[in-house]
Amino acid sequence: MKHHFEGTARFTGGYESHGTLETQNLTTDISIPASMGGVEIGTNPDEMLLGAATTCFIISLSVLFERNRMPLTDLKVESKATVDQSKGVLTYESIDYIVTIQTDAPDSKHSLLRRFVRKAEESCMITRALQGNVAVNITDIHINPS
């Protein structure tokens, strides 16, 4: 089964301008970030890619926990993207995740939870689409931090 998604973007100029992006469930202003010489109105492609990867990962992980009947009381993924600008060329280099899991699962299941985190990252369709172009890393996994 194929799923189709549609969007419309409008933009009125270069670095000093901004535009809009509309999809079925999202309407947002867009522009070039100030750090790259833009006006920073709304979001930008770099944040959108980071958001797409992060939401895909956290949803994949929560579904994996649910399918394996792992009790989950809270799940948080902090993400950070690195974009390099060298010789006038922008390159999206990496996305790094810190995962925090609150669970009632016994300590004996914590190694399994860590494996689920790695599996969810590997199975996320956005991560797979980025493969070979953007490094995606899990830098830390916290289970039931105090």
- Model confidence over 112-141: pLDDT tens digits? 999 999 999 999 999 999 999 999 999 999
Tens-digit pLDDT profile for residues 41-92: 999 999 999 999 999 999 999 999 999 999 999 999 999 999 999 998 999 9
Delimit the domains of the chain by residue range. Answer: 1-43, 45-143
- Tell whether the torsion through CA atoms of 80, 33, 18 and 41 is positive or negative: positive
Shortest CA distance to 118 belongs to which of 131, 136, 130?
Answer: 136
Superfamily of domain 45-143: K homology (KH) domain (3.30.300.20)
Sheet arrangement for strand 7-11: 7-11, 18-23, 26-31
